[in-house]
Amino acid sequence: NAGVTQTPKFRVLKTGQSMTLLCAQDMNHEYMYWYRQDPGMGLRLIHYSVGEGTTAKGEVPDGYNVSRLKKQNFLLGLESAAPSQTSVYFCASSYSTPAFKGNQPQHFGDGTRLSIL
């Protein structure tokens, strides 16, 4: 089982460039999440999706867009990268859970290390 797969694993961008991070899960999970992790700040939720075709904002959504065209994929886009977006990005997935009151564990990908110069 692959679980949650993130591509790419590393990327260096110049300020103003755009890119898309791909997350794929093979567990038939309804919920998918994008986090960023910065030193001393733990994990912060960027956007999440409660199912195919739906997306919602998390704690720190500005500067990012997401799409969930297929249930197994969740894409995170940076339209115009900024140095403040240098971070490690994690994707996660879980089974259905209504309004974050559920009882299912999250499964994480291995992360994407993104540097913006």
Whether the Cβ atoms of residue 78 and residue 19 lie closer than 8 Å to each other: yes
Q: Tell me the C-alpha distance between 98 and 22, whole Å.
A: 24
Instruction: Report the distance separating Cα 48 and Cα 53, nearest Å.
Output: 11
What is the nearest approach in angstroms of another protein to the Cβ of residue 73? Answer: 20
If the CB atoms of residues 80 and 96 are measured against another protein, the closer one turns out to be 96
Q: Taking the complex as a whole, how short is the minimal distance between the CB of residue 43 and another protein, in angstroms?
A: 5
C-beta of 69 vs 100, nearer to another protein: 100
- Write out the residues near another protein by the rule CB under 8 A: 33, 40-45, 58-59, 88, 90, 97, 99-108, 110-111, 113
Q: Give the residue with the Cβ less far from another protein, 19 or 45.
A: 45
Indicate the residue among 17 and 97 with the shorter CB distance to another protein: 97
Nearest approach in angstroms of CB 110 to another protein is: 5
Q: How far is CA 36 from CA 62, 90, 101, in A?
A: 12, 6, 22
22: left (phi over 0), alpha (psi -120 to 50) or beta: beta
